[in-house]
Amino acid sequence: MKTFYKTLMLGVFMAALAVVSPTFAQDVCEDFEANAALYEKFTKDFRGEINKETLAARKSAVAAAEEYVKKYEKCGDFAPQVTYLKKNGPELNTRIKAFEEYVIQQERYERFDKAVKAENTAEIFASGEEILKYEPEFIDVRLVMASVGLDEAADKQNDTFNNKTIDHAKTAIQKLEGGAKSEKFGAFDFVYNTRENAIGWMTYTIGYIEYYRQKKEESGLSYLYKATQVNSDVKDRAFIYTEIGDKYIAQADKLRQETVAIIKENNKETFESKSKLALSKGYVDRAIEAYAKGYEVAKADMNKETKADVKAQKKEYVDSLFDTLKNLYRFRFETDDKPMNNDAELVKQLNSHIASVARKPLASPTSEVKPVDPPSEEENTSEDTSTSSTTTTIPAKATTNGSTNKANSKPKKR
């Protein structure tokens, strides 16, 4: 019984094999109908631009090309088609990947644009930094972020983004000096138009935040000074020069007070008091130079103003700068032998002096200040008991008002 069953099953299996064996034996290279259908599928989905609507069809063409090459690569009759698809299939796939990357890139741009228009600073930094992960040379994005960060610090007194702002500004300067290219050097409300202007503003951004917000006065003042040395809009900001001048005034007045104290203690001038006074005058020379530049810039700005009320406000500021310069000039040049009692003559001398020093390059606040006519070593043993009226004159600072807005960071406000 078992033998009969096995024999019967073997017969059935052989019969079935006889039925299907012609299909297995068919040569793929002879299957012209399937070949034509697959090639037609490729050509149908291959042509035309790639966009969101045609993306699926183009991917179908790539799949058809890959299948065709794999199936018919060894078929001599189909060699031209195989060669063609080996070239055009991968090329199409490369174009598809480029399009998909472009779509993702545009999504990043749209996120950034939306954040800027909504004035969402946190999102501006997040989306901008996402762009820079893939496009670190995209200088316009970095310029926008640094500009927004400056506005947060200057206009809103928000220090949340200070460190990031400084980092982006420093990187922007490095890349700009290295030749980074841009059409407008910025975007939205933060367009700087030229490489030099962008460098000047980024330098100013670092200086402003460090000096006013982070209280890194030496470093911050150095950056503010550097900003005035670049051919940019920043060099037309009077308060930078007066801020530098105020630092010199503070040091000069400290030395003046020490001079007075020494004279009172000794009831006469000494080598030490003369040395301090000479150095004090050196600081006043620097203060005059800085204030003279600030005065010229502020006066030019006032003269361009067309609105009467604004012009009056700016004139008040210009006049306060001139008053400070008068005090400084008196301290620097007035002596017992040459008192400056004639105000008209003083103004004449001062205007001439301002015109002279304002044309000269401004010394770096980090450079050494040298004393004016210091006493000689021979005077160290002198018993001179005379005193100088200049030691009792205090250089006064200019008063500022609303027309000297120190923030004013956006290029559109210039």
Return the sign of the alpha-carbon dihedral for residues 116, 118, 124, 130: negative
Q: Give CA–CA dist 273/261, Å, rounded.
A: 9
Q: What does the pLDDT look like over 235-263, one tens digit per residue?
A: 999 999 999 999 999 999 999 999 999 99
**Reported confidence tier of residue 397, pLDDT bands at 50, 70, 90:** low
pLDDT of residue 52: 87
Confidence at residue 313, expressed as pLDDT on a 0 to 100 scale: 96
pLDDT of residue 287: 97
For the chain, give the number of residues. 414
* Amino acid 48: pLDDT: 85
pLDDT for the residue numbered 17? 42
What is the pTM (predicted TM-score) of this model? 0.80
How far, in whole angstroms, is CA 298 from its chain's centroid?
25
Q: What would the 3-class secondary structure string for 290-311 be?
A: HHHHHHHHHHHHHHHCCCHHHH
Asked whether the beta carbons of 28 and 51 are under 8 A apart, the reply is no
Position 28 scores a pLDDT of 86
Report percent pLDDT > 70 for the chain.
Answer: 85
Give the pLDDT confidence of 330-361 residue by residue, as tens digits: 999 998 888 998 999 999 999 999 999 999 99
pLDDT of 13 > 60? The answer is no
Specify the higher pLDDT residue, 337 or 21.
337
Does 393 score more than 90 pLDDT?
no
Q: For position 260, what pLDDT does the model report? A: 95
Burial class for 338, CB neighbours closer than 10 Å (0-12, 13-18, 19+) = exposed
Pairwise pLDDT comparison (397 vs 251), residue with the higher score? 251
Per-residue pLDDT at 335 = 86
- Lookup: tokens for 362: 């401004």
**pLDDT of res. 378:** 72
Distance of CA 364 to the CA centre of its chain: 22
